[in-house]
């Protein structure tokens, strides 16, 4: 993608009513349309979605394929795709606006700052879809299922909230299972290192992201972990 196209998409999402941004890592704040400062912590469902439905986050959402498709399938739930890349978020937010999918929104922020924008117990469920596995051992703490990130999820998930990880990477899969087994506050509900070799445990696993399509095309096996986090 050219630099010009990225800049155009950055500019366009600032006019989208379903996109919020935290562009200043050192001085975090939530900005809505046209850069207006907003406070939605503890109020996402009531003030943005205008309902009291359960809230699901998709972390490292990329183009938002999972966020948008989950919102289509579950109109009685609210979904927010989270990614640090505004040009990626543009795609999903544009589709949601065009199709009038009002239960899908997007947040551009670093995921390690997620607890700044959601209240304790505000989130019911988290999906982590094909994140960067950070294969170097020196960067293991940047993996989205590392103890540091699980501690952040614990701050915003309701007690017993569910987290889903979908990945093609065996290192991240094994790391996640081991991390969860060592955390007394987490319970693994299901894990499989080749989900498409058998009947899917939940139907929404048949949603394919852009990256998953690439992985499948070269014969990569898709892995899945579902776990709950207690407070």
Tens digits of per-residue pLDDT, 146-156? 999 999 999 99
Specify the CATH architecture of the domain 3-229: 3-Layer(aba) Sandwich (3.40)
Q: Name the residue ranges covered by the structural domains of the chain.
A: 3-229
**How far separated are the first and last CA of the chain, in Å rounded?**
42
Dist CA 211 CA 22 (whole Å)? 25
Q: Judging by DSSP bridges, how do beta strands 104-108 and 55-59 pair with one another?
A: unpaired
- pTM, to two decimals: 0.95
Reported as a single tens digit per residue, the pLDDT across 140-179 is: 999 999 999 999 999 999 999 999 999 999 999 999 999 9
pLDDT band at 6 (very low <50, low <70, confident <90, very high): confident
Q: Tell how far CA 217 is from the center of its chain.
A: 23
| Lowest-pLDDT range of 2-11, 113-122, 129-138 | 2-11
Handedness of CA 39, 43, 44, 50 (dihedral sign): negative
Residues contacting 91, CB < 8 A, separation 6+:
63, 64
Secondary structure string (H, E, C) spanning 82-138: EECCHHHHHHHHHHHHHCCCCCEEEEECCHHHHHHCCCCCCEEEEEEECCCCCCCHH
Q: Name the strands in the sheet holding 123-129, side by side, starting at the edge strand that comes first in the sequence.
A: 19-21, 104-108, 78-83, 55-59, 123-129, 157-167, 223-229, 186-192
The SS3 of residue 18 is coil
Q: Is the predicted pLDDT of residue 113 greater than 90, yes or no?
A: yes
| 119/56 Cα distance (integer angstroms) | 13
Report the distance separating Cα 96 and Cα 81, nearest Å.
11
Active-site choice (52, 76, 102, 132): 132
- 102 annotated active-site: no
pLDDT above 90 for 13: no
**Separation in Å, CA 120 to CA 74, 77, 81, 110, 156:** 23, 18, 19, 18, 4
Q: Kindly state the average pLDDT of the residues 200-215.
A: 94
Structure tokens at 61: 């959402």
Residues 160/126, Cβ–Cβ less than 8 Å: no
SS3 content of the chain, % helix, strand, coil (to 5): 40, 25, 40
By C-alpha distance, which of 80, 18, 13 is closest to 53? 80
């Amino acid at each position: 993608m050219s630099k010009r196209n990225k800049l155009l998409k950055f500019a366009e999402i600032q006019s989208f009513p379903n996109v919020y941004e935290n562009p200043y890592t050192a001085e975090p704040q939530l900005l809505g349309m046209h850069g207006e400062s907003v406070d939605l912590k503890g109020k996402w469902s009531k003030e943005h979605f205008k309902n009291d439905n359960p809230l699901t986050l998709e972390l490292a959402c990329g183009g938002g394929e999972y966020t948008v498709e989950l919102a289509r399938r579950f109109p009685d739930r609210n979904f927010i795709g989270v990614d640090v890349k505004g040009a990626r978020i543009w795609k999903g937010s544009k589709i949601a606006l065009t199709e009038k999918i009002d239960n899908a929104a997007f947040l551009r922020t670093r995921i390690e700052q997620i607890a700044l924008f959601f209240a304790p117990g505000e989130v019911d469920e988290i999906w982590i879809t094909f994140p960067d596995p950070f294969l170097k051992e020196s960067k293991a703490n940047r993996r989205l299922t590392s103890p540091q990130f699980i501690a952040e999820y614990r701050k915003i998930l309701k007690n017993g909230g569910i987290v889903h990880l979908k990945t093609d990477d065996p290192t991240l899969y094994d790391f996640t299972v081991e991390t969860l087994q060592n955390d007394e506050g987490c319970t693994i509900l299901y894990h499989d290192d080749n989900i498409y070799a058998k009947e899917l445990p939940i139907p929404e696993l048949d949603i394919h992201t852009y990256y998953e399509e690439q992985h499948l095309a070269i014969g990569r096996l898709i892995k899945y972990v579902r776990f709950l986090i207690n407070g």
